[in-house]
Chain A
Amino acid sequence: MKAGNDAGPVAGAILYLLIGPIVWAAHLLLVYGPQSALCAFRITGTAAVDPWLISVLVAGVTVIAMAAVGLTLWRPRRMARLFRFNAASDGDRSFVISVMRILGVLSLFGIAWAGATTLLLDPCAQLR
């Protein structure tokens, strides 16, 4: 053991580890935010956006988010370089990479499930 610093920047490592969940959170924000705002606009009369546009928006954001997570699953080491992630030993490095990948898989489920609901429901109806 020697005194010293980490092999790479901390923020990079944290972001790298959390790519999947971060994209999932961004996806939720980007589908729920616009959808609920655009539907509220229809009630307050601020703007009347065609409902199908909302569905398209949700589907589009979902596809992009899934592609982003898919990319990191496919090329984890390239992503690691992008985030300047590195670790002291091979064991630690592969630990972080595998955690990142499985988190990505779980996030993919979350994104796909949320996105798929738009295929089954009218975007603004209360349905009660």
Chain B
Amino acid sequence: MRRGSPQWLAAGTALVLVSGCAGVQSALDPTGAEAARINTLSWVLILFCTAVFIVTAIIAAVALFGSERWRRRLAGDRLVVGAGLIFPAVTLTFLLAYGIIVLGMGGGSAGASGSLRISVVGERWWWRVIYHDENGHRVENANELRLPVGRPVRIDLTSADVIHSFWVPKLAGKLDMIPGRVNTLTLNVHQPGVSRGQCAEYCGGPHALMSFFVIAMPEEDFSAWLANEAKQAKEPMGNPETRGRELFLASGCGACHTVRGTTANGTIGPDLTHVGSRHSLAAATLPNNADAFARWIRDGQHIKPENLMPAYRIFTDEELASLSSYLAHLR
């Protein structure tokens, strides 16, 4: 957390009320440029409103319990015009100007062509993420966003079905993903680390289970990661993995999922080429390990009801283990 005037208060309040500091999705703990601007604005507003409330409460208390002399002072049009009309007119003018100035600081330099651009498409109930690098290459993955630290990145947001909203509180405010429209958000992350985002527009069914992690990395790590991400899937090495791949291809998984380098080239569901390297499974519903893959395949409809992947109960335990270890090894 940055040292700043009212920010110790944020930490304090959060600490008192919340056991431990769990801030991966907190707007009060910004690591991105927009979120930081808004955080300062938030604290100005919170302090202003608290002050106004306290003064109003004191005036009301005097009106109720004050001495005759004090009450007579308050009992007239003067209080109404002064406190109810002139005071808000003046203070709101300043607040509005401040808000508009902060609004005007949005957007930014990320629009420059040739630089990294990322498209995120809201799907029911996951995120399709497409990286367009400087050379015009297109790399698709899902349910996780990786960003280089220290430079603005342009994120194009749209939706494939219903309205979703892209929100990573530590980095920026939310922006809706609307079918037929493309909204552009600039993310400029200050420091490396993991933050969590979540769909903020109700999108039916398991809307509550549509989240993702954002991993901000130093520039060179990011380039290395993106280069790896652009590669085809790793060849299986051991036996369970090879068996897993056979099962994967034979059971029709490829109708919905792509694993680049194999015949699986479906585009309905998330691209699984490097699924094993992600922070989480099923849009941040499960941790990422072989066991979670198995649970998801067999019991997905219980873990994330109404999600669009049917539960596959056709596999034996052994087959499921092979399939899971194949998927987990796709790093």
Q: Do chains A and B touch in the complex (CB under 8 A)?
A: yes
Chain A interface (Cβ within 8 Å of chain B)? 109, 113, 116-117, 120-122, 125-128
B183 touches A127 (CB 8 A): no
- The 10 A-B residue pairs with the shortest CB-CB distance, nearest first, are A127-B106, A127-B107, A120-B100, A128-B185, A128-B106, A121-B104, A117-B100, A120-B104, A128-B175, A125-B107
B93 near A113 with CB under 8 A, answer: yes
In the bound assembly, the distance between CA atoms of A4 and B295 in angstroms comes to: 83
Instruction: Using known A-B contacts A109-B89, A113-B93, determine if residue A128 contacts B184 with beta carbons closer than 8 Å.
Output: yes
Contact B104 A128 (CB under 8 A): no
Chain B, 98-132, CB within 8 A of any chain A CB: 100-101, 103-107
The distance in angstroms between the C-alpha atoms of A127 and B101, with both chains bound, is: 11
Interface of chain B residues 261 through 279 with chain A (CB within 8 A): none
Q: How far is the CB of B127 from chain A (nearest CB, A)?
A: 18
Most buried by A among B97, B172, B173, B183: B97
Q: Are B183 and A128 in touch, CB under 8 angstroms?
A: yes
Chain A to chain B contacts (Cβ below 8 Å), 29 pairs: A109-B89, A113-B92, A113-B93, A113-B96, A116-B97, A117-B100, A120-B100, A120-B104, A121-B100, A121-B103, A121-B104, A122-B104, A126-B106, A126-B107, A126-B183, A126-B184, A127-B103, A127-B104, A127-B106, A127-B107, A128-B34, A128-B106, A128-B107, A128-B172, A128-B175, A128-B183, A128-B184, A128-B185, A128-B186
Tell me the nearest residue of chain B to A112, going by C-beta.
Answer: B93
For B93, the chain A residues whose CB sits under 8 A away are 113
1/0 per residue, CB under 8 A from A, across B159-181: the answer is: 00000000000001101000000
Residues of B within 8 A of A109 (CB): 89
CB under 8 Å from chain A, chain B span 164-223? 172-173, 175, 183-186
Residue of A nearest to B101 (CB): A120
Closest A residue, CB atoms, query B81 = A102
Chain A residues near B186 (CB-CB < 8 A): 128
Give Cα A105 to B175, complex, Å: 36
Instruction: Output the residue of B92, B106, B175, B183 with the most chain A CB within 10 A.
Output: B106
With the chains together, A117 CA to B112 CA distance in Å? 27
List of A residues within 8 angstroms of B96 by Cβ: 113, 117
Distance between Cα atoms of A109 and B186 in the complex (Å): 33
Contacts of B173 in A (CB 8 A): 128
* Cα separation A24 to B115 with both chains bound (whole Å): 44
